[in-house]
Amino acid sequence: MLEKLDLSKKVSKEEYNRQMEVLGERLGKAQRMARDAKRPIIIVFEGWRGARRSALINEMMQQMDARGFNVYSSVRLRGVMQEQPFFGAFWKRLPALGHIAVYHRSWYYLKNANELADKEDNTKYPAVSFEHINNFEKMLTDDNYLVLKFFLHLSPEQQKKNIAKNAKTLGKAWRDLNPAIDESEDYDKFLPHYEKMLEATDTVNAPWHLIADDDPRSARLEVFTKIADAIEKAVQMSAEPAADKRTAATYDVLSKIDANKELTKEEYKEKLDKYQKKLTQLQIEMFKAQIPVVIGFEGWDAAGKGGAIRRLTAALDPLGFHVHPIAAPNVVEKQFHYQWRFWTKLPQPGNIAIFDRTWYGRVMVERIEGFAKPQEWQRAYDEIKDMEAQWSEHGIAIAKFWLQIDKEEQLRRFNDRQNDPNKQWKITDEDWRNRDKWDAYEAAVNEMLVRTDTSYAPWTVVEGNNKYYARLKVLKTVIDLFERKLAEKQQ
Amino acid sequence: MLEKLDLSKKVSKEEYNRQMEVLGERLGKAQRMARDAKRPIIIVFEGWRGARRSALINEMMQQMDARGFNVYSSVRLRGVMQEQPFFGAFWKRLPALGHIAVYHRSWYYLKNANELADKEDNTKYPAVSFEHINNFEKMLTDDNYLVLKFFLHLSPEQQKKNIAKNAKTLGKAWRDLNPAIDESEDYDKFLPHYEKMLEATDTVNAPWHLIADDDPRSARLEVFTKIADAIEKAVQMSAEPAADKRTAATYDVLSKIDANKELTKEEYKEKLDKYQKKLTQLQIEMFKAQIPVVIGFEGWDAAGKGGAIRRLTAALDPLGFHVHPIAAPNVVEKQFHYQWRFWTKLPQPGNIAIFDRTWYGRVMVERIEGFAKPQEWQRAYDEIKDMEAQWSEHGIAIAKFWLQIDKEEQLRRFNDRQNDPNKQWKITDEDWRNRDKWDAYEAAVNEMLVRTDTSYAPWTVVEGNNKYYARLKVLKTVIDLFERKLAEKQQ
């Protein structure tokens, strides 16, 4: 792809200034249009060392409003990459609705460095597959993000010149502070690698723009024009893609579950004590092994999620776990992709994140209540599986519980709450409204349990009519997970 | 203080369970009351190693709702303390309105560790003065935060027993993971140190509660009762303190400034180029020296803040600076103390944070428009000085600019904007309304410039009728600051 670029284009200073007078206004206006249309934008600058990324970005900043405009560099992110799944750092820096995030080197740079840096250096860079990259970008563009990717191309001669000039004007200090790979010693080795990357990630939804950067003025005019064009077009074309045609599949999991399991209070007390002591020990070992844990709880209203979570956390040191109650997204969370609030709550190494309701709200309440459009919740199954796969590949242990009670048991518990003054705050009109939609929820739960049950993030359906039984099953499942992960780590 | 505690109190398991049945409900209810009343709460647990902090906190969590309830430990914060001013980590973890933050060891622990840990270990802990601690807590309680501090006291015999028991049941791993100071080898050396700390920080607004922890059941009942009492009382007594009586002082700074300074376009162009080249170099040196920088811009509407900032940033590498435009606090920022949004935007070492409008909004727009009550903006002068002092002590270089134009010049610029279709978006009705309040703003600016001009964070008043002159003065002031800080660092 790169050899087709005409690197000989040149623009005079006068011509550049003349064009920038118009283009600068257009850029500022495009930013305001995107803000009004609430379109978030990610602009990625990759390319050779010596390409004039910083000067280009700075010129763009001169034309644009600093509000909602952020510049990041993957060179600076290197230190925080290892403590989270690859895209965690980028989720945390996701632009909000109407905002712009500019990457001076991005996920592509980190992948390249992992594959191309010197042996002693490349372990500092995390690995990532083209598939995860394409999925990440697709998920964003599907959600109305605009993803613009530029590769600044240099001839080997120009690259040598630029690097020499930087060394002269900025001094050795700059070189020390900017540890990016220097390809100029062996240009031809790197070229096919970059070509392959461009090919593998040149997608319909997030295509690459190849820019001849031997003449930086011509490069800037081209980049700014493409940015203004893309934003103007995106804002005008904000029409929604149609939902896929879909044959309603019928899944049947819950009806085969008998939610009644027997357990006496005495058996419960004895085993609870035993399991909790075991968990206290295992938490310490998991911390020592630095294995992060994600435990998600879903289930019918009044199925006993809160009680099960309390029996679990009672055994844990409060410094090593955090319970995240998940309700409808708040005003900030609504500014982002639905996965954002979960990526930003991932546990530190050795810590446990417990979610009281989870990302599966996308395919349950958001589906049923129409908060997500059909095409949105339909693609969410794959999106969620990819998210959990990334977490798992990073070493996060994942457990997901569905607490199952039958409809009569729910009614009994609702009435109990209603009649006990100390528990009335626990039950709301919404609970009763949800109950009226039992059948719709049941269909959604069935589909979720079938389509998102994976080896790396399996569902555990917990028979919940007997609370004692349910709590012990949760504890035992977590114990088994911890023991399995510790054994894997020791191998 | 500690010797007065009766360490022999004992509560039986039956009595404990009986009392907890009532107390547990009360705690949960108190949390809901605080949430409804939007009172944020910080609960600090300090005390000897071996005190049953974790078990106590866990028991409290069993009674309370996980929503808006967060537990932190300063033992785990150690790694992030050095990269920011001491209280930065605590500002970032400030509870929002109606939320609860629990500290399993807090700022007191870090101060003690800095002073008492072994020589090779204590450099890992940052230093802080009692004065800054008291100011921090006062600022919060003044702003309706409830700060509850508990010191869990143990006899030397009980401490030895508890530590031995932990070692036995939790194993060596736990010890490795929990690097807190072990005072049990030399109890009498630590006792007077803790006494001194308790005395120096036992304030009316945030008093210490000393708790006998030899019997943990009795300790828990006492702590939970005090927490429930304090919240119930605080919610009932939410009456505002009266504003201080205040003699309106008249300050006079601006009237002595002649905003007209001559500078030709040719002189400007020549010097601008020279200054910007210099700044490019200095930014690299500041990064190498890892000195963080905060630059704040205030000034009349249309005084040229944006233009001055652009001439400054044009010389800087975009990876090393960030412009923070400050408008009215958004819905999230309103959930916190007014300083929160500035503490959370402090620059990384070697980076530059530029604020387009600043924390001085508290004593200008919030004062004039009544968004801050008189007692709030009146105490803000000292609060802001303490904040800037902490930043400066941490090594942050600070510059603050007031861009001064006279009233006629503002009118000319407003009309220019109004009449230019490309600039109309820059001027709003609010600008005209603010202009009508010129005299009130002038009085507020005068007071601000006099009362917050310090050696560590001085104001620079910039004569702004001539934009060229103003921009160069800003650049030159920043250059001088950088050179001075670099020289200081080299000494």
What's A437's DSSP letter? Answer: T
Whole-number Å distance between alpha carbons of A464 and A300: 10
First to last CA, chain A: 45
Q: Is B144 exposed, middle or buried (0-12, 13-18, 19+ CB in 10 A)?
A: middle
CB pairs under 8 A between A and B: 100
Nearest CB to B325: which of A66, A71, A171? A66
Whole-number Å distance between alpha carbons of B343 and A345: 21
Name the 3-class secondary structure at B487: helix
* Residue numbers of the domain that contains B167: 2-236
Name chain B contacts of A176, Cβ cutoff 8 Å.
Answer: 288
Q: How many CB atoms lie within 10 A of CB A314?
A: 16
Searching chain B, which residue's CA lies closest to the CA of residue A289? B173
The CA dihedral of A224, B312, A95, B428, to the nearest 10 degrees, is -90
Number of structural domains chain B divides into: 2
- Cβ atoms A100, A32 nearer than 8 A: no
Q: Does B324 touch chain A (CB under 8 A)?
A: yes
Task: Please list the residues that pair with B302 across neighbouring strands.
Answer: none
Evaluate whether residue B457 is within a structural domain: yes
Q: Does A73 touch chain B (CB under 8 A)?
A: yes
Evaluate whether residue A245 is within a structural domain: no
Which B residues in the span 203-242 are in contact with A, Cβ-Cβ below 8 Å?
none
Name chain A contacts of B314, Cβ cutoff 8 Å.
Answer: 58, 62
- Cβ atoms A46, A133 nearer than 8 A: no
- Cβ atoms B342, B358 nearer than 8 A: yes
DSSP, residue by residue, B396-418: -EEEEEEEE--HHHHHHHHHHHH
Whole-number Å distance between alpha carbons of A320 and A328: 26
CB contact under 8 A, B325 and A170: no
Q: Does A319 touch chain B (CB under 8 A)?
A: yes
Name the 3-class secondary structure at B204: coil
User: Do both A230 and A288 map to the same domain?
Assistant: no
pLDDT tens string, chain A, 491 residues long: the values are: 898 899 999 999 999 999 999 999 999 999 999 999 999 999 999 999 999 999 999 999 999 998 899 999 998 888 788 889 999 999 999 999 999 999 999 999 999 989 988 766 666 788 999 999 999 999 999 999 999 999 999 999 999 999 998 888 777 666 666 667 888 888 999 999 999 999 999 999 999 999 999 999 999 999 999 999 999 999 988 656 556 666 666 788 999 999 999 999 999 999 999 999 999 999 999 999 999 999 999 999 999 999 999 999 999 999 899 999 999 999 899 999 999 999 999 999 999 999 999 999 999 999 999 999 999 999 999 999 999 999 999 999 999 999 999 999 999 999 999 998 888 888 999 999 999 999 999 999 999 999 999 999 999 999 999 999 999 999 999 999 999 999 999 88
User: Do both A229 and A285 map to the same domain?
Assistant: no
Q: CA–CA distance from A247 to each of A250, A370, A455, B63, B326 (Å)? A: 9, 19, 26, 47, 51
Phi, psi of A453 (to 5 degrees): -95, 105
CB contact under 8 A, A319 and B76: yes
Min Cα distance B356 → chain A (Å) is 9
Choose, out of B175, B309, B311, B317, the residue to mutate when testing the contact with A (most A CBs < 10 Å): B317
Whole-number Å distance between alpha carbons of B310 and B323: 10
CB contact under 8 A, A171 and B284: yes
Nearest CB to A174: which of B70, B284, B323? B284
Residues with Cβ < 8 Å from A283, sequence gap 6 or more? A315, A316, A317, A320, A321, A352, A482
Min Cα distance A323 → chain B (Å) is 6
Q: Does B171 touch chain A (CB under 8 A)?
A: yes
CB contact under 8 A, A285 and B173: yes
User: Which among A204, A236, A268 is the end of a domain?
Assistant: A236
Which CATH number characterizes residue B304's domain? 3.40.50.300
Nearest CB to A288: which of B177, B285, B316? B177
Q: Does B273 touch chain A (CB under 8 A)?
A: no
- Cβ atoms A78, A48 nearer than 8 A: no
For tokens 């998210």, the residue is A387
Evaluate whether residue A212 is within a structural domain: yes
Q: Which residues of chain B have pLDDT under 50?
A: none
Name the 3-class secondary structure at B76: helix
Quick: pLDDT tens for B109-157: 999 988 988 766 666 788 999 999 999 999 999 999 999 999 999 999 9
- Cβ atoms B49, B116 nearer than 8 A: no
Q: CA–CA distance from B402 to each of B5, B292, B299, B446, B454 (Å)? A: 55, 21, 5, 11, 14
DSSP, residue by residue, B103-140: EES-HHHHHHHHHHS-HHHHTTS----HHHHHHHHHHH
Min Cα distance B34 → chain A (Å) is 15
Min Cα distance B68 → chain A (Å) is 9
- Could you tell me which of B249, B373, B55 has the C-alpha nearest to residue A280? B55
User: Do both B223 and B339 map to the same domain?
Assistant: no
Searching chain B, which residue's CA lies closest to the CA of residue A316? B58
User: Do both A145 and A287 map to the same domain?
Assistant: no
User: Do both A284 and A138 map to the same domain?
Assistant: no
- Could you tell me which of A156, A162, A161 has the C-alpha nearest to residue A186? A156
User: Do both B108 and B176 map to the same domain?
Assistant: yes
Quick: pLDDT tens for A183-216: 888 899 999 999 999 999 999 999 999 999 999 9
User: Do both A173 and A271 map to the same domain?
Assistant: no
Largest distance between two CA atoms of chain A: 88
What average pLDDT does the structure give for chain B? 92
Phi, psi of B146 (to 5 degrees): -100, 120
CB contact under 8 A, A76 and B25: no
Quick: pLDDT tens for B154-180: 999 999 999 998 888 777 666 666 667
Strands A146-153 and A208-212: parallel
- Cβ atoms A209, A25 nearer than 8 A: no
User: Which among A236, A266, A297 is the end of a domain?
Assistant: A236
Task: Please list the residues that pair with A355 across neighbouring strands.
Answer: A296, A324
Residues with Cβ < 8 Å from A362, sequence gap 6 or more? A338, A372, A376, A377, A380, A384
Rg (chain B; Cα; Å) = 27
What's B51's DSSP letter? Answer: S
Evaluate whether residue B242 is within a structural domain: no
User: Do both B447 and B485 map to the same domain?
Assistant: yes
Choose, out of A319, A344, A426, the residue to mutate when testing the contact with B (most B CBs < 10 Å): A319
User: Do both A8 and A59 map to the same domain?
Assistant: yes
Residues with Cβ < 8 Å from A241, sequence gap 6 or more? A375
Q: How many CB atoms lie within 10 A of CB A70?
A: 15
Evaluate whether residue A246 is within a structural domain: no
User: Do both B137 and B266 map to the same domain?
Assistant: no
Min Cα distance A327 → chain B (Å) is 10
Name chain A contacts of B287, Cβ cutoff 8 Å.
Answer: 173, 177
Q: How many CB atoms lie within 10 A of CB A196?
A: 11
Give how far the C-alpha of residue A17 lies from the chain's centroid of Cα atoms, to the nearest Å.
40
Choose, out of B105, B220, B319, B486, the residue to mutate when testing the contact with A (most A CBs < 10 Å): B319
Searching chain A, which residue's CA lies closest to the CA of residue B177? A288
- Could you tell me which of A329, A330, A217, A271 has the C-alpha nearest to residue A469? A271
Q: Does A96 touch chain B (CB under 8 A)?
A: no
Name chain A contacts of B73, Cβ cutoff 8 Å.
Answer: 319
User: Which among B236, B262, B290 is the end of a domain?
Assistant: B236
Evaluate whether residue A99 is within a structural domain: yes
Q: Does B314 touch chain A (CB under 8 A)?
A: yes
Q: H or E segment at A211?
A: strand A208-212
Q: According to the model, what pLDDT value does residue A79 have?
A: 77
- Cβ atoms B300, B462 nearer than 8 A: no
User: Do both B324 and B191 map to the same domain?
Assistant: no
Largest distance between two CA atoms of chain B: 88
Evaluate whether residue B249 is within a structural domain: no
Q: Does B288 touch chain A (CB under 8 A)?
A: yes
Whole-number Å distance between alpha carbons of B381 and B478: 24
User: Do both A279 and A361 map to the same domain?
Assistant: yes
Q: According to the model, what pLDDT value does residue A133 have?
A: 97
Searching chain A, which residue's CA lies closest to the CA of residue B22? A422
Instruction: Name the region of A38 (left: φ>0; alpha: ψ -120 to 50; beta: rest).
Output: left
CB contact under 8 A, B288 and A75: no
- Cβ atoms B408, B307 nearer than 8 A: no
Min Cα distance B448 → chain A (Å) is 26
